[in-house]
Structure 1
């Protein structure tokens, strides 16, 4: 048996994990909606009325998937993902996680510039100066479109504050 076959995740496991994650998302939606109000006011439904029931539907769908997987799943051992197949997925997913962390710590503009530059260099094979130039141009366009054009402030960090962009 090849090494990559030993390091795999079954389809059944992934269906259980996905059902639990989507049920958690549904619970979060219901909780947030409940805080906003899920009843009827004199002017009609409160802000959380419709999202609450969307959350309930997500939870019900997740429970159906979970029960179906636990009690009616018959294809034991069906491989969902091997380490060989996971490498390209992780090559996309891990930079997105890094982008999120950097954006929360240093601001969205810095995170965007670093993500674009890194993705172009390592995944696209571009030279560093082309990647850096593209990152600066795209980040500058984001600033012009959101901050100036739409007047929607994006998440800023200490570098933007240091530069006087607030």
Structure 2
């Protein structure tokens, strides 16, 4: 399996168009007009969103026109199969970390993520990986909760231990 450059260019144009559309439509709630005292809060985000959207559409159109004009010359490979595998080995644990951190809290999520990454990718002994994950979670707690007094998301642990 490999990913071609044209596909990545179209994906990037689609993602940035989505961001521009989100910015433009989100700013409509704030007002995009002009008042006697100046622009409403959504004025600049609306137009920046429109510029990003238009640039993304132009980028996609340019990519498709170049494909039509140059044909197979434009079909160069962006990522080989091995590169896709390496990228997935980094991205998938990170995506799982985000889901676990939202559901179980940052401390559990970071401990599990660091354990897995140290064990599978860093080739640490499982016991060392456990201590690394737990040590980081404890350090995270001490630094944020104790030193800076900034509570982080704890998920169900907050209720279980009666914290806050």
Structure 1 gap ranges (5+):
1-6
- Say which of 14, 17, 20 aligns to 1:23: 17
Q: Tell me whether 55-64 or 147-156 shows the greater mean CA deviation.
A: 147-156
Partner residue in 2 for 1:37: 31
Q: Distance in 2 between matches of 1:134 and 1:63?
A: 46
The 1:150–1:62 alpha-carbon spacing in structure 2 relative to 1, beyond 3 Å, is farther
Q: Distance in 2 between matches of 1:69 and 1:158?
A: 48
Deviation at 1:88, TM superposition (A): 0.6
TM-score by length of 1: 0.82
The 1:62–1:151 alpha-carbon spacing in structure 2 relative to 1, beyond 3 Å, is farther
Deviation at 1:49, TM superposition (A): 3.4
Structure 2 gap ranges (5+):
none
Partner residue in 2 for 1:67: 61
Q: Distance in 1 between matches of 2:152 and 2:114?
A: 17
- Say which of 93, 96, 115 aligns to 1:95: 93
Partner residue in 2 for 1:154: 152
8 Å CA contact retained: 2:28, 2:46? yes
How many residues are matched?
160
8 Å CA contact retained: 2:3, 2:77? yes
User: 1:1-166 maps to which residues of 2 (within 5 A)?
Assistant: 7-40=1-34, 44-73=38-67, 74=70, 75-166=73-164
Q: Distance in 2 between matches of 1:58 and 1:145?
A: 39
Output one character per residue of 1:95-148: Cα deviation in whole Å (capped at 9) or x when no partner: 011101111211122111110111111111112222222222222232233334
TM-score by length of 2: 0.83
The 1:153–1:32 alpha-carbon spacing in structure 2 relative to 1, beyond 3 Å, is farther
Taking only aligned residues, the RMSD between alpha carbons, in angstroms, comes to 2.2
